[in-house]
Structure 1
């Protein structure tokens, strides 16, 4: 337990729960649950159920998971809470809620939340919420994970669960913050990306900034489609965003934060992404005002890079992806104004720590085959197979030059071919709905 966080992430932790058709692999991180095997083949289905976990009373709760899900595998994470409420006769009653699911997650499936509802609790996309009035609270939690494989040669693995809950502790009104503690983070604007999704990718753009500072070299759209929730039909599922970071080997989780936890991360050298609601219109009374903010937003994710003091006033230094250019992303927000906007955003933090395990990325090398010299039409080959370039499969096609400094987006010709002009030293990224990014390095394209 750490403040409002509870971790399950070691061999000994997993032993405290119940393992059905599962084993614990000591060679993955500090221990990870995997499907058991029989005659060198993995069992198709397994269930992990945690011990009962005692917490302070809470109304809202998040469960993050760190896992690897090779092609053909996926997981589902569920939770139930022990809830205190008053029945119809005003009698104090205690009862376990139903098991509620955070959805089906995998890096190579159409991952989806479920938003289930029961008489005591519900999950709203990514938050477990106790229903009823303010006196209806929970004090215990159990989590359950279902592991699946369609390919008995591979297994999913889960190396960490993190529970974060929101209790009734008053907000910290004053805390000493480190002045002039600023962390280098690359600056990416969401508004110069694929025009079909620019207005809704603040979350994966922020995740990309956090990961690329660790030399991951991700494309924003690559992150976006790896986080996309096909039930919610959006890119902003908090749990899916950090699960994607974990799929690259990083310890990551979502936390209900405060200034103390924000200071903890920045002081330790970790920038964080946070959820905010704000306006840049001082006459707009619906949302907290932030001077120098680029937009008015009812829900937004940005990166906090550090703290700065100027003329006796405390500021947070942020990379706000709502800036209309990469150069305008880095901004300085008054700490008090920022805190109000963050509070309206439920004080959510995306925390990404160090890499725990080495996991192969989901990129596949391809080659081009000339189909029509006159029109410069090319097919894309993966080994000896033509890649499906139809809109049913392809999410985004990006061609970059100058080591990624300049780029443009392509639409396949007649759903089959790439129409390429004479370009040298370019790289083509084709982001598929199967969770893979297909890459063609073209050092010298001649036509």
Structure 2
């Protein structure tokens, strides 16, 4: 299986095509990008399997006025909001920039999905970690109940705003929700758009698949909170604020000495919440494959890529 890959800067060709990023046999992957504030462009994607490239499929339109996934498809490849699926095990993937300046896209990342059975992790050591991440609710606007992703992102932005004295990273939830809104999808849960919005603010941001909570704890030990995506059915997550969820995002801010994760859960009445380790880890790994948003200031980028198990 191919590792997570992060490129910055990107060596775009004259035709606006990226280098080939390895897929290692994956049949599903989440490409993400960081671009300059105010940049406008369309992204296309193609993949190679058995030595043959697919035709280009439209991935997304990104601009200050229009942000929309495009759900393009071609023989052998299909885009579903933020995820690229292949008909056969993939060897490589390329992105192409159209209707804009490729140099404005200064970083790209690729998170190939992992097909694996869940195995509980064991915490090494008994030290507890609990980062002081500002607490925000996803119910910031009356009648709006689907803002878990932008709320989780806003909490991480606020965390670094305080640490680095960056008032421009201190944004309220409606502002972040507007910035990540996907017009075609009709919501704020597009993983790539959340990452791209953080990147447009001058941070390094990407999506990655992690192995387990023990790998996530390594980020926390370097004072890097994560946004994790998980789902559950009734009775599967003790203490959850909702009976069930097909996809929820929250900030992983800590781990207790006995191993239970500590989250800022934007749907929880108290925001700060702790869930049984094995239950939350299983719902994260089985629900999304262990996907997370990694959002850090540029000076922490190299360490974050290494912790994600990536190559740059």
Equivalent residue, structure 2, for 1:410: none
Which range moved further: 315-324 or 164-173? 164-173
Q: Do the aligned partners of 2:35 and 2:104 also contact (CA within 8 Å) in 1? A: yes
Per-residue deviation, 1:273: 0.6
Match of 2:193 among 231, 240, 260: 240
Output the CA distance in 2 between the equivalents of 1:217 and 1:126: 26
Equivalent residue, structure 2, for 1:275: 229
Equivalent residue, structure 1, for 2:56: 99
Per-residue deviation, 1:117: 2.0
C-alpha offsets along residues 423-445 of structure 1, whole Å, 9 cap, x if unaligned? Answer: xxxxxxxxxxxxxxxxxxxxxxx
Identify the structure with the greater helix proportion.
2
Equivalent residue, structure 2, for 1:332: 274
Match of 2:207 among 254, 257, 266: 254
Equivalent residue, structure 2, for 1:195: 142
Please tell me the root mean square deviation across aligned C-alpha atoms, in Å.
Answer: 2.3
- The answer to whether the aligner puts 1:354 opposite 2:297 as a matched pair is yes
C-alpha offsets along residues 287-334 of structure 1, whole Å, 9 cap, x if unaligned? Answer: xx1111111211111110111134xxx20000110113xxx0101111
Equivalent residue, structure 2, for 1:65: 33
Match of 2:152 among 190, 195, 206: 206
- The answer to whether the aligner puts 1:165 opposite 2:116 as a matched pair is no
Residue 58 of structure 1: SS of its match in structure 2?
coil
Residue 56 of structure 1: SS of its match in structure 2?
coil
Equivalent residue, structure 2, for 1:185: 133
Output the CA distance in 2 between the equivalents of 1:3 and 1:305: 28
Output the CA distance in 1 between the equivalents of 2:134 and 2:2: 30
Q: Do the aligned partners of 1:246 and 1:252 also contact (CA within 8 Å) in 2? A: yes
Query: Whose relative contact order is higher, 1 or 2, with alpha carbons under 8 Å and at least 6 apart?
Result: 2
Equivalent residue, structure 1, for 2:6: 7
Identify the structure with the greater strand proportion.
1
Number of matched residues? Answer: 289
Equivalent residue, structure 2, for 1:77: 43
129 and 246 in structure 1: CA distance in 2 versus 1, 3 angstrom threshold: same
336 and 124 in structure 1: CA distance in 2 versus 1, 3 angstrom threshold: same
Residue 224 of structure 1: SS of its match in structure 2?
helix
- The answer to whether the aligner puts 1:345 opposite 2:288 as a matched pair is yes
148 and 184 in structure 1: CA distance in 2 versus 1, 3 angstrom threshold: same
Q: Do the aligned partners of 1:101 and 1:114 also contact (CA within 8 Å) in 2? A: yes
Output the CA distance in 2 between the equivalents of 1:96 and 1:223: 36
Output the CA distance in 1 between the equivalents of 2:172 and 2:76: 41
Structure 2, unmatched stretches of 5+, are 162-168, 300-312
Output the CA distance in 2 between the equivalents of 1:58 and 1:306: 31
Residue 138 of structure 1: SS of its match in structure 2?
coil
Residue 263 of structure 1: SS of its match in structure 2?
helix
Q: Please show how residues 32-431 of structure 1 align to structure 2 within 5 Å.
A: 47-70=15-38, 73-84=39-50, 94-106=51-63, 108-131=64-87, 136-146=88-98, 148=100, 157-168=104-115, 171-177=118-124, 179-191=127-139, 193-197=140-144, 199-215=145-161, 216-259=169-212, 260-279=214-233, 281-282=234-235, 289-295=236-242, 296-310=244-258, 314-324=259-269, 328-343=270-285, 344-355=287-298
Output the CA distance in 1 between the equivalents of 2:293 and 2:103: 23
Q: Do the aligned partners of 1:74 and 1:156 also contact (CA within 8 Å) in 2? A: no
332 and 3 in structure 1: CA distance in 2 versus 1, 3 angstrom threshold: farther
Structure 1, unmatched stretches of 5+, are 21-46, 85-93, 150-154, 283-288, 357-447
Output the CA distance in 2 between the equivalents of 1:130 and 1:306: 36
75 and 269 in structure 1: CA distance in 2 versus 1, 3 angstrom threshold: same
C-alpha offsets along residues 15-69 of structure 1, whole Å, 9 cap, x if unaligned? Answer: xx41x2xxxxxxxxxxxxxxxxxxxxxxxxxx42122333411011111111114
Per-residue deviation, 1:355: 4.0
State the TM-score, normalized to the length of structure 2: 0.85
